[in-house]
Each structure stands twice: as C-alpha cells, then as structure tokens.
Amino acid sequence: MNRILIPTIATALFGVHAAFADVPSLINYQGRLTDAAGAPVTGAKNFAISIYDAATAGNTLYTETIGAVTLDANGVYSFQFGGAGTSNTLVSEAIATTDGTLTTFQKVLANSPVVEGTVSVTDGTYTWTQSGGSSNEDDFGVAYSTSLRRVTVNYYAGAPAAGMAITATYRYGTSGITGALSSGAEHWMAISVDGTVQGTRQRILAVPFALRAAKSDMTMGDYVPCQDGTVYQAKTNGFICASAQVGDVRNLNIYVGEASTSMPLVWAQTSGPYNTGLSVTLPIKKGMYWKSQYAGTLLFISLE
C-alpha cells in the first residue's frame, strides 16, 4: 500500500537583503513531513511547489521544481525557492484609443510567452475574455491569435465614441518569483512530494512581512516544539507554525495578544476528517503572548 504523506508544518522565511518595497529573490522554506500515522518521513524526497492567488482554484502565479531534498530523523526539511521557477506575471497593455470613425483595432501583445487562457479585453463598456467570450456579442467581439499574440477588436454596431481606451490584460511567463509576488493580493502555496500534492494550500504570510522592512536580513533560528493550549510569550520575532490534529474535525485556532489574559482569535479554519494537511504560519512580534487550540503539531520558529 502506498504511504500517504502529510505535511504537518510549513513556514516561509526570507533570508536575503531587500531594500524597501523590493521583493526578495529567494525564500527559505522549512517544514516537517509525517505519514498518515504521524511518524516522521525520512530520507530523500523530490519536492515541487506552486503558488496561487487563492486558497482553492484561482490563478497559478508561480511554479518551481525543487528536486531531491533530504529529511532528517524528525521529518524536518528545508529548501530555498524563488530563483529557478517561472512567474505568471499580470500586466495590462493599451491596444488603442477610439477615434469615432474606426470599427476595428489591432495590436500584437508586447510580452511573451502569454499564459494560455488569461487574455481579457475591455473598453470600459464591453468586456471579452478567452474563457467567457464577449459581454455583448452583437456589438463587440475580439479575436486572439495565440501564435502571433495578436488581439483584434471589432465593433459590429458602428464606430464607438471617440476617446475610449481599449485595454488588454493578460499573464506572461517570467523567470524568478518577483513577478508572482508583485501580481497577487494573496499567495497560497501547494507542495508536491514525489509528484503528490500534500494537503491544502498554505498561505505565505511572510511576504508582506519582508516587503515592509526597510532592510531585511532575517535568518532562521531554532524551532521550538510547543504544547497546544499553553500560553507562550515570544522571546524573539518569529513565526507560529501549527497543524491540525490528525483525526479531528474542528477549527484550528491561533490566539495572539499583548497580555496573557487577553488574546484575541487571529486565525481560524476548519480542518477536514483525519487531517487534510491544514496548517498555518503566522508572524509574531517579540513580547507578544500567544496560544493555539486543537493543534496537533506546534512550533515556534525564531528569527535572529
């Protein structure tokens, strides 16, 4: 029988210099991998990652094959990503401005390769997408040539009024992770181990943490096992890493506050039966109090 691998802990930590508003070029990722019985997985495994702009479905922002990674005796592993993959960068590009006489407008998109199915066109009144077609097929149509990257806009009911800006929006492939992190309001990462996607996507909450730093030079310190339900005070800036209890169908809750007696709920999500891989990584400032509820595995990772 094939063993089911479940990632129980994952955290994204930035370990490179970054000027204000610059996106880091590499990300250090650490996690812990267990099998269905909760025992640590050891040895070498092949990892790959994908980053999306939503917890489910959504657009693919980044993909990278990590390759073979060796897990230690506790199932803990780490790797860097961000330099060898491909971002699907979002961009908007002007096609034309209507002049009150022309009914056809054409433009070859400037960037390549264009990600299949991502092209959309609007003039502020009508819209067209590759997946859904035109918002008004009687008056407005678009033809897109994949091989030529050419957009042709047609007005079937006569020339539109002058001064309307026709714009195309699409995604195109670029090297590295910069395009992905700069073109998504949220970033959710899925991890594959030996070709099998592990559990649910995990939100990368360290991205804005690094982006707001005037200068980021964060390195990963020790990871400290913690006890579910116990109140802790963060001795350094760091990250709370928690995963749902195996076999529980409850909310995985994290509480954080300035006082040990007053810690508001800051994160909650329902886990699936027998743990579908639900986990969370939350940044926390030095001196703040925190605790978890219904965490099966719990770590505090310090930044030194």
What is the per-residue pLDDT across 168-211, written as a single tens digit (0 to 9) for each? 999 999 988 878 877 777 788 899 999 999 878 887 754 333 33
Confidence grade of residue 278 (pLDDT, cut at 50, 70, 90): low
Give 58's DSSP letter.
Answer: -
Domain extent listing, the chain: 1-85+176-213, 90-170, 219-304
Q: Which CATH architecture has domain 219-304?
A: Sandwich (2.60)
Question: pLDDT per residue over 45-90, tens digit each?
Answer: 999 999 999 989 999 999 999 999 999 998 888 888 888 999 999 8
Torsion angle in degrees (nearest 10) through CA of 195, 51, 212, 214: 60
Q: Return the structure tokens found at 123.
A: 């003039």
- CA–CA distance, 7 with 299 (Å, rounded to integer): 14
What pLDDT, on the 0 to 100 scale, is given for residue 250? 63
Q: Return the structure tokens found at 299.
A: 């770590």
- CA–CA distance, 235 with 286 (Å, rounded to integer): 5
The DSSP annotation for 162-212 comes to: TTPEEEEEEEEEEESSHHHHTS-S--EEEEEETTEE-SS-EE--HHHHHHT
- CA–CA distance, 284 with 256 (Å, rounded to integer): 8
Confidence grade of residue 214 (pLDDT, cut at 50, 70, 90): very low
What pLDDT, on the 0 to 100 scale, is given for residue 247? 57
Question: pLDDT per residue over 110-144, tens digit each?
Answer: 999 999 999 999 999 999 999 999 999 999 999 99
Span 209-224, mean pLDDT? 45
Q: Return the structure tokens found at 288.
A: 């703040």
- CATH says 1-85+176-213 is which class? mainly beta
Place of tokens 């590499």: 26
pLDDT at 221 over 80: no
What pLDDT, on the 0 to 100 scale, is given for residue 238? 82
pLDDT at 22 over 50: no
What pLDDT, on the 0 to 100 scale, is given for residue 301? 82
Place of tokens 């994949």: 146
What pLDDT, on the 0 to 100 scale, is given for residue 217? 40
Residue 271's identity, in one-letter code, is S
* Helix (H), strand (E), coil (C) string for 113-170: CECCCCCEEECCCCEEECCCEECCCCCEEEEEECCCCEEEEEECCCCCCCCCEEEEEE
